[in-house]
Amino acid sequence: MKKFFVITMIIAFLFVSLHSEEGMWTLDQIKKLNLEKKGLKIPVSEVYNPNGISLTNAIVLLGGGTSELISENGLLLTNHHVAFGAVQKASTKGTDYLTNGFLAKTYKEEIEGPGISASLLQYSKDISKKILKVGRKIKDPVKRAKARARKIKKITDKIEKGKSDIEARVAKMYNGKQYVLYVYKRYDDIRVVFMPPGAIGNYGGDIDNWMWPRHTGDFAFMRIYMAPDGSGRKYHKDNVPYKAKKWLKIAKDGLKDGDFTFIMGYPGSTTRYRTSSALSYTLDLYYPNAIKVLKETIDLLDTVGKKSKMTKIKVSGLSKGLNNAMKNWQGKVEGMHRTNFINKKIKFEKELIAFLKKDDKLYKKYGHILDKIKSEYDKKRETYVYDFNLGLGTRLNGTLMGIANGIYGTIMERAKPKKEKNPRFSEKRVKRGVSRLHYRYMSYDESADKALFKAGLKRLNLLKGEQRIKTLEFILKGGDVAIDKFVDDAFAKTKLSDVNFAKSLYNKKQKDLLKLNDPLINLAAKLYPETEALRKKAERFDAVITELRKDYINVLYLWKGSDMYPDANRTIRFTYGAVEGYNPRDAVKYAPFTTLGGVIEKNTGKKPFNMPAKLKDLYLKKDFGKWCAKPLKDVPVAFTHKCDITGGNSGSPVLNAKGELIGIAFDGNYEAMTSDMQYDEKLQRTISVDIRYVMFITEKFAGATNILKELGF
């Protein structure tokens, strides 16, 4: 036993060392990474200190991304595309901030960023023992999962009780081997300070998205506001700027090829510990169908957006998000085919089975784990078309239908007996969702909503036989003409376009709701049995597959050692790596820096390569100020480095060896889109906007001297 333990530890050490720049590490794992030997020039305790203040206290979960505190007075720096949704909603009041940009010179001029919230981590705690002991004697995986979910809710409810600005979340690590409690303080009053115009913040648009070389000034300044007593609350005229315990300092030294960098942020989701059968299912079915639906929806939004400038603004957030996802998935499909990804995974699994066969007890316990996982995915394949279209397909049917489904689903869940109720159902979250419902309506446009609804129903009408959504036959059987008429009539009669009416429905009983005879509510009621059956099927799959994946992780632990990082799950993570370019293909080498001169080279004067005239003039005059990089003789715009990130990391701070801010992470590179499933040391790079370009635009282009003064320049 002792010999086996020693061998395991040796393998673990080799595993970490050989893949030194791979990993989205949890905070408690940082001390094991030997960072001082790899270039870090400050104590690890200054990066993360569970018993005191450290750089971690400046990292903020913001909307769908990450941000960082950069002043004592709650000033945040994040990506332009992270702030995009809030600024898009602010633009629906009449001023197009997305195109023109926005700058506040004083606190009073800072405007509300509707719908965006900031969460600051207060503490985290491993509660695995409390959760895993629950349900050990329960054989049914669904009942066991529900029992654990109820325990989790009991823990989080106790922490949140009486505290409207506190949120507790329990994250499942290693597919359920570990459970970690994270407690956050939430601030719902986030204001826009400086948003560069779209011709800078979104330069290159969807053409350059995920691509290198990149020349986008993807940054924005925002600020956290709080109540005078320090609590978090929604936008209010009496709120004051947040007083930070810790904020990041802007680096005054330059950055060069080979320099050590690190990132802390909130990556969304990775699947690096999935099997070949899971990944084949995604490659064969999910990605092709999802890409097709997204492409159709994007084209539709582009067409509808031409009707008016305001319609274009209102649909811009959805369109941008869909474009981002579509290109990411396209890159994954290309990458998986190009690298023979599935076959490599199968080879890996054959080696794993060979390892297990060396020990009869291990093989007896785990030898058929891959077959069991494959069996579950084979079942999913049988009903995939129906499930996909009832799920993702119908979710793209517009704002009002989504709200109708949400209202009816909430009322039905509330009415269930305690044993049948979803353990995750929370009246507190329902109340918060209702209070924020008006933010969804800021993106609502009737013409776009009707077009999305009609297109969704017509797409469903193409399904055949058992794939059809039978509940909708009363509409679909009449074809396109009947679909158009149903949608037009429904929108003419529904009152859901009134946000106050919609809010009033969440506390009604089912019978009272149906008495309203609202066509969209009625349709949600008709669909509910099918969507509920789909939810229960997904619930069972998740419960079964979680247990199987946990066993698979156990096997990997035995084979590869215990020093493995968990898949990303929107909890704070640490990653590090050197500034370095890469070779995307034969005879092509990419340098690690782009410059303002490259912005000039791409400029066509037409979107998305339409740089502002003032920016071009600054370049021609070489008016770079202190932000010029001497080796480049130009202002650096973006750089690539070997940090390991994914979606959700957008806006994360990039720090140098001294813990100073040198950039903002905003993208990965197209050639390594498969990185969510497997790290590729040769190809995977993080693309970050250089802090010198951020400061150059802020000072020289925008004249935002107030921001520079606040930052100590």
Q: Where are the alpha helices (DSSP H) in 274-308?
A: 276-281, 287-305
**Run of H or E residues at 264:** strand 260-265
Phi, psi of 262 (to 5 degrees): -145, 160
With CA atoms as reference, report the closest residue to 323 among 66, 608, 585: 608
Phi, psi of 359 (to 5 degrees): -130, 110
Question: Where does residue 340 rank: exposed (0-12), middle (13-18), buried (19+ CB within 10 A)?
Answer: exposed
In this predicted structure, the answer to whether residue 535 has a pLDDT above a threshold of 80 is: yes
Is there a contact between 666 and 210 (Cβ–Cβ < 8 Å)?
Answer: no
The residues, ordered by sequence, that sit 6+ positions from 19 with a Cβ below 8 Å of its Cβ are: 679, 681
| SS3 assignment, position 530 | helix
Average pLDDT, integer, range 46-65: 97
**Helix, strand, coil % (nearest 5) of the chain?**
50, 15, 35
**pLDDT at 393 (0 to 100):** 65
Q: Strands 240-241, 636-641: parallel, antiparallel or unpaired by DSSP?
A: unpaired
In this predicted structure, the answer to whether residue 20 has a pLDDT above a threshold of 90 is: no
In this predicted structure, the answer to whether residue 10 has a pLDDT above a threshold of 70 is: no
Residue-wise pLDDT for 148-205, tens only, equals 999 999 999 999 999 999 999 999 999 999 999 999 999 999 999 999 999 999 999 9
Is there a contact between 314 and 477 (Cβ–Cβ < 8 Å)?
Answer: no
User: What is the rounded CA–CA span in Å between residue 618 and residue 689?
Assistant: 19
Is there a contact between 487 and 450 (Cβ–Cβ < 8 Å)?
Answer: yes
**pLDDT at 4 (0 to 100):** 32
**pLDDT at 563 (0 to 100):** 81
User: What is the rounded CA–CA span in Å between residue 266 and residue 60?
Assistant: 8
Tokens 């950069």 identify what position? 70
Is there a contact between 556 and 177 (Cβ–Cβ < 8 Å)?
Answer: no
| SS3 assignment, position 66 | strand
Given pLDDT bands bounded at 50, 70 and 90, which one contains residue 35?
very high
**Joined tokens for residue 639:** 């750089």
Average pLDDT, the chain: 95
- State percent of the chain over pLDDT 70: 97
- State percent of the chain over pLDDT 90: 95
Exposure on the CB side of residue 120, measured as CA atoms within 13 A: 25
User: What is the rounded CA–CA span in Å between residue 646 and residue 312?
Assistant: 29
Per DSSP, what are the bridge partners of residue 184? 121, 167
Q: How far is CA 694 from the centre of its chain?
A: 23
Is there a contact between 356 and 368 (Cβ–Cβ < 8 Å)?
Answer: no
The DSSP string of 606-665 is BTTB---HHHHHHHHTT--GGG-BTTTTB-EEEEEE-----TT-TTPEEE-TTS-EEEEE
Average pLDDT, integer, range 488-504: 98
**DSSP 8-class letter at 472:** G
Is there a contact between 632 and 591 (Cβ–Cβ < 8 Å)?
Answer: no
User: What is the rounded CA–CA span in Å between residue 177 and residue 172?
Assistant: 8
Is there a contact between 654 and 70 (Cβ–Cβ < 8 Å)?
Answer: no
What is the end-to-end Cα distance of the chain in Å, rounded?
A: 60
**pLDDT at 560 (0 to 100):** 84
**pLDDT at 8 (0 to 100):** 33
Is there a contact between 59 and 653 (Cβ–Cβ < 8 Å)?
Answer: yes
In this predicted structure, the answer to whether residue 684 has a pLDDT above a threshold of 80 is: yes
Question: 427-435 vs 399-415: helix axis angle to the nearest 10?
Answer: 150
Tokens 């497997």 identify what position? 678
Find the angle CA(643)-CA(649)-CA(653) to the nearest 5 degrees: 70
Given pLDDT bands bounded at 50, 70 and 90, which one contains residue 14?
very low
Does 213 sit behind a cis peptide bond, omega within 30 degrees of 0 on the bond before it?
A: yes
| SS3 assignment, position 65 | strand
**DSSP 8-class letter at 282:** I
**pLDDT at 704 (0 to 100):** 98
Q: How far is CA 187 from the centre of its chain?
A: 19
Is there a contact between 76 and 59 (Cβ–Cβ < 8 Å)?
Answer: no
Q: Say which residue, 709 or 11, is predicted with more confidence.
A: 709
Is there a contact between 521 and 495 (Cβ–Cβ < 8 Å)?
Answer: no
User: What is the rounded CA–CA span in Å between residue 204 and residue 280?
Assistant: 33
User: What is the rounded CA–CA span in Å between residue 226 and residue 481?
Assistant: 52
**pLDDT at 74 (0 to 100):** 98
Given pLDDT bands bounded at 50, 70 and 90, which one contains residue 597?
very high
In this predicted structure, the answer to whether residue 562 has a pLDDT above a threshold of 80 is: no
Is there a contact between 305 and 312 (Cβ–Cβ < 8 Å)?
Answer: yes
Does 631 sit behind a cis peptide bond, omega within 30 degrees of 0 on the bond before it?
A: no
User: What is the rounded CA–CA span in Å between residue 134 and residue 143?
Assistant: 11
Is there a contact between 647 and 269 (Cβ–Cβ < 8 Å)?
Answer: yes
Per DSSP, what are the bridge partners of residue 300? none
Q: Where are the domains of the chain?
A: 51-248, 276-555
In this predicted structure, the answer to whether residue 416 has a pLDDT above a threshold of 70 is: yes
Is there a contact between 692 and 591 (Cβ–Cβ < 8 Å)?
Answer: no
**pLDDT at 395 (0 to 100):** 80
User: What is the rounded CA–CA span in Å between residue 323 and residue 333?
Assistant: 15
With CA atoms as reference, report the closest residue to 649 among 322, 269, 273: 269
| pTM for the whole structure | 0.95
User: What is the rounded CA–CA span in Å between residue 667 and residue 687?
Assistant: 5
The DSSP string of 233-267 is -S--TT-EE---S--PPBP-S---TT-EEEEEE--
| SS3 assignment, position 580 | coil
Tokens 């999305």 identify what position? 452
User: What is the rounded CA–CA span in Å between residue 192 and residue 190?
Assistant: 7
Find the angle CA(324)-CA(329)-CA(331) to the nearest 5 degrees: 95
| SS3 assignment, position 78 | strand
Q: How far is CA 618 from the centre of its chain?
A: 35
The residues, ordered by sequence, that sit 6+ positions from 398 with a Cβ below 8 Å of its Cβ are: 448, 449, 450, 452, 453, 456
Per DSSP, what are the bridge partners of residue 594? 638
Minimum mean pLDDT range among 20-24, 57-61, 338-342, 547-551: 20-24
**DSSP 8-class letter at 700:** I
